[in-house]
Structure 1
Amino acid sequence: MTSANNARFNAEAAAWDSNPTVVLASDLARKAILDRLPGPDTTSRLDVLEIGCGTGILSLALAPSFRSVTAVDAAEGMIAALEAKLNAENCTTKNVRPVCALLEDPGDERIRPDAAAASRLDGSKRLEPRRFDLVVSHLVLHHIPDLLSVLQTMFGCLKRGGLIMLTDFEDFGPQARRFHPETKMAGVERHGIKRTDMEALLLRAGFVDVRVETAFKMDKTVETEPGSGVKGPTMTFPFLICIGKKPTCPT
């Protein structure tokens, strides 16, 4: 992500979870992901990587269904908020590991420790590069300048046969711009994602069994007029889920 994104999300981290729209969208994303996977007998053995985890709303919601979740975000404020949740006395989640990183290399040492085993890099042992069964992201793609590059990184982070499931709002035309108030456009690279563009990019990144489909729809209060700062009308925004599989055999 860009420095504009980091500055914005660092500033908003403390109040992030108090936004009901953020919480609702994360819960709908969780449901969309789990609805497209096998039952808990299978998912409980899987390791997940979330890229752009924010304060960990989705990571923490997914954690009970999976073996481990490695939650990555480039904004220090967001990761600090997640760490505070995990360190709270009433937190029972033990299989989520927060990592502050702009992840550009699948071999990045910061994602190698196993969240479920609570292992840490101590300098005495160099861990092998880590590969995951599932990579997820939520409301991240519209902030990424180079989508192909991040998809290729996700591809590299997966085990053979692993999946990506990425959710974001759909670019359905000029009105999609209203998803964000005009004062929060810094770091917004596109106003939603397009089905055909994402399908083509996933294929270029090496994924097979590619599907881009409607995941859910969500109502969101928007500005009465762009830039007015006054919220009034409600718009319904469709969200897409982008699914791809890393081939089980080298091509």
Structure 2
Amino acid sequence: MTEANTVRFNEEALSWDSNPSVQLATALAHKAYLARLPPPEILSTYDIMDLGCGTGLLSLALAPSVRSVTAIDAAEGMIAALRSKLEQQPPTPGSNTTPNNDPDNNNSPNPPAPPPPTNIHPIHTLLTSATSPLLHHDPLTHLPTPTPRRFDLIVSHLVLHHIPSLPTFFATIHDCLHPGTGRVMVTDFEDFGPAARQFHPESKMDGVERHGIQEGVMREVLEGAGFVDVKVERAFEMGKEVETEPGSGVLGPAVVFPFLICEGRRAA
């Protein structure tokens, strides 16, 4: 990821979760992943990596379903935001006495928020190698491992359009997976023509390497990196308000953006 991306995402980290498009896209991606992953009894054994995790929205959504999540991002501000979430203390029993809005139960307090998961390990780095010493850590046991860990699944959401070299990116992912069984599953908006450029306002174009991803290109990239059982398909669509005129900063009616999900398995 380029320096321009890192600077931008450091600046936006504190307000990132307040963007409704970010929240909606993450929720839709999470649903798409779960629909394509093994049943709970198998998925619960998975050690996964969320590459380009941002503030951890997807990591936090997936954490209850898997054994562990190694959450990696090149922007220090994003990782700091995730760490802050994971360090939040659960409320003291009986401390939450705010009435709810249930007309049939006006005196009942809102249920306390669940404690943050303990199986997420945030890492601030630009991951370029499967041999990184930062991968010598088990998020569940909090113990070092003698060799870099390999993963059952690597996910990445709304990251690919910021990556200068997709072949290099997927070569690193390939090497971080378990041979024979490890899978990659990534989502990003589709390049469906000139209108796809509208996904970003003009003020945020610095660091955007491509305006979405294309099915044929992604298939070639995954197969070129050594993945087998490659599948690229539309996963969902999402409406997003776009600028009425490029650079105006004024948002108008929503445009529907299709999202692709790209999958592959590392060969034995």
**TM, length-normalised to structure 1:** 0.95
Cα distance in 2 for residues equivalent to 1:241 and 1:26: 13
Deviations 1:107-162 (A, max 9, x none): 1111220111122x5xxxx6211100000000000000000000000000000211
State the SS of the aligned residue for 2:182: strand
Cα distance in 2 for residues equivalent to 1:111 and 1:2: 22
1:49 is aligned to 2:69: no
Cross-structure match for 2:87: 87
* 1:228 counterpart (238, 244, 248): 248
Cα distance in 1 for residues equivalent to 2:196 and 2:266: 31
Cross-structure match for 1:40: 40
Cross-structure match for 1:171: 191
Matches within 5 A, 1:183-202: 183-202=203-222
* 2:153 counterpart (122, 134, 140): 134
Cα distance in 1 for residues equivalent to 2:48 and 2:140: 11
State the SS of the aligned residue for 2:246: coil
Q: Give yes or no for contact 2:51–2:155 (8 Å, CA) kept in 1.
A: yes
Cross-structure match for 2:21: 21
Cα distance in 2 for residues equivalent to 1:232 and 1:23: 19
State the SS of the aligned residue for 2:58: helix
1:156 is aligned to 2:175: yes
Q: Which runs of at least 4 in structure 1 moved beyond 6 Å after TM superposition?
A: none
Per-residue deviation at 1:28?
Answer: 0.7
1:7 is aligned to 2:7: yes
Cα distance in 2 for residues equivalent to 1:127 and 1:169: 38
Cα distance in 2 for residues equivalent to 1:116 and 1:159: 18
Cα distance in 2 for residues equivalent to 1:150 and 1:69: 19
Backbone CA RMSD of aligned residues: 0.8
State the SS of the aligned residue for 2:22: helix
Deviations 1:4-24 (A, max 9, x none): 000000000000001111011
State the SS of the aligned residue for 1:222: strand
Per-residue deviation at 1:232?
Answer: 1.0
Structure 1 segments unaligned to the other structure (5+ residues) = none
Deviations 1:203-239 (A, max 9, x none): 0000000000001100000000111110011100000
Cα distance in 2 for residues equivalent to 1:241 and 1:2: 23
Cα distance in 2 for residues equivalent to 1:40 and 1:236: 32
Cα distance in 2 for residues equivalent to 1:114 and 1:11: 30
**Which structure has the larger Rg over C-alpha atoms?**
2
Q: What amino acid sits opposite 1:49 in the alignment?
A: M
Which deviates the most, 85-94 or 46-55? Answer: 85-94
1:215 is aligned to 2:235: yes
Q: What amino acid sits opposite 1:230 in the alignment?
A: V
Cα distance in 2 for residues equivalent to 1:43 and 1:222: 37
The share of aligned pairs that are identical, in percent, is 58
**TM, length-normalised to structure 2:** 0.89
Q: What amino acid sits opposite 1:70 in the alignment?
A: T
Q: Give yes or no for contact 2:13–2:81 (8 Å, CA) kept in 1.
A: yes
